[in-house]
Amino acid sequence: MYQKDLLQRRTILLTGGGTGLGRSMAMRFADLGANIFLVARREEPLKETVNAIRAKGAKASYALADVRDFEAVEKTISAAEKEFGTVDTLVNNAGINDKVGLEHGTPEQYVDSLGRNLLHYYNMAHFALPYLKKTRGCIVNISSKTALTGQGGTSGYASSKGAILALTREWAAELLGYGIRVNAIVPAEVMTPLYRQWLDTFPDPEEKLKTVLAKIPLEKRMTHPQEIAAMALFLISQKAGHITGQHLFVDGGYVHLDRALT
């Protein structure tokens, strides 16, 4: 169990916090006293998350911004620091499996996919760094199993998530002198609204779900968003005070265990 005030007075900057994994993480951090500042492009989901956090008695705010825009990112992070007085943690989460493949994509679409899934991780970290240096803060990057397994038909997303793992190690090395820890979480099959939308593209969504579940070694079930949030909470807490440069898999053994087990 964590103390109720574990994250008291900590300000957590989180991209894509309106739905799915981002919302689960934001709500969990708020439960333990953190100030939450969310960044995304769609206002309605952000409002809903912020209102839910405030209903708990915690502090939260948001900014509408295209995180691919350098100036918008710089202004947004400055606004977060101005509102809460500090930026202690960055959680890079925003992204979408946009199915930009090699055979059925174009070079232009591929570059756009990198913008949606990779480049803004650098933008956010770059402009948050001056504040993180002051607080000896930390960064958590959300990657994906596609970085290691491939999926087919999603070159932009898969290569972005692979680069995120590389950047996690690179930043951890570069920022050692500032005491800034950098780690990545690697989910596999997590039931989020986007995942449900994907399932619903099949003629028989429930049958497709059964085939997915059969391939997950531990308990033959999806990972819950709250389980990703629990790992993120551990990584940003002092309980992980000597962990940096790591790729943490929360996937029920999906990536590494022998397929014969399923």
Positions annotated as catalytic residues are 157
Task: Give the span between the Cα atoms of 161 and 142, in whole angstroms.
Answer: 8
**Residue 125: its H or E element:** helix 120-135
- For the chain, list the strands marked E by DSSP: 11-15, 35-40, 60-64, 89-92, 138-142, 181-187, 247-250
Task: Please give the distance of CA 93 from its chain centroid, rounded to a whole number.
Answer: 3
Task: Give the span between the Cα atoms of 236 and 102, in whole angstroms.
Answer: 36
Task: Please give the distance of CA 8 from its chain centroid, rounded to a whole number.
Answer: 21
Residue holding tokens 């899934």? 117
Pairing of strands 181-187, 247-250: parallel
Please list, in sequence order, all residues whose beta carbon lies within 8 angstroms of the beta carbon of residue 215, skipping any fewer than 6 positions away: 254, 259, 262
Closest of 25, 31, 34, 28 to residue 7, by C-alpha: 34
Tokens read off for 78: 């400055």
CA-based end-to-end distance of the chain: 33
